[in-house]
């Protein structure tokens, strides 16, 4: 699963609104952030700490969750 799709899955599972996430990242509307979730635009490195804080996950959980699971099995 790509990072944007994982971000969406986590955001929805935690009940975080698209509008809230967009505002936290400084987008004037939700379409900027939605483009990241859809994989159309890459997540800027300077926004990663904000995403981690809002979603309440670690860097490894967001970027390497699948890899960690695969090596544990």
The pLDDT tens digits for 2-46 are: 899 999 999 999 999 999 999 999 999 999 899 999 999 999 999
18-50 as b/e: b if 16+ CB within 10 A = beebbebbebeebeebbebbeeeeebeeeeeee
Residue 20 CA, chain-centre distance (Å), reads: 13
Q: CATH number of the domain at 64, please.
A: 1.10.260.40
Q: Which pLDDT belongs to residue 24? A: 95
Query: What pLDDT, on a 0 to 100 scale, did the predictor assign at position 70?
Result: 45
Give the structural domain span for 16: 3-72
| Residue listed under structure tokens 């944007």 | 4
Q: What is the pLDDT of residue 66?
A: 58
**Residue pLDDT, tens place only, 51-66:** 999 999 999 889 886 5
Domain count within the chain: 1
pTM: 0.82
């Amino acid at each position: 699963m790509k990072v944007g799709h994982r971000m969406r899955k986590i955001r929805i599972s935690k009940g975080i609104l698209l509008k809230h996430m967009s505002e936290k990242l400084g987008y004037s509307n939700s379409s900027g952030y939605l483009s990241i979730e859809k994989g159309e635009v890459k997540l800027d490195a300077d926004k990663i700490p904000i995403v981690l804080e809002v979603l309440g996950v670690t860097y490894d959980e967001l970027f390497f969750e699948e890899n960690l699971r695969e090596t544990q099995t």
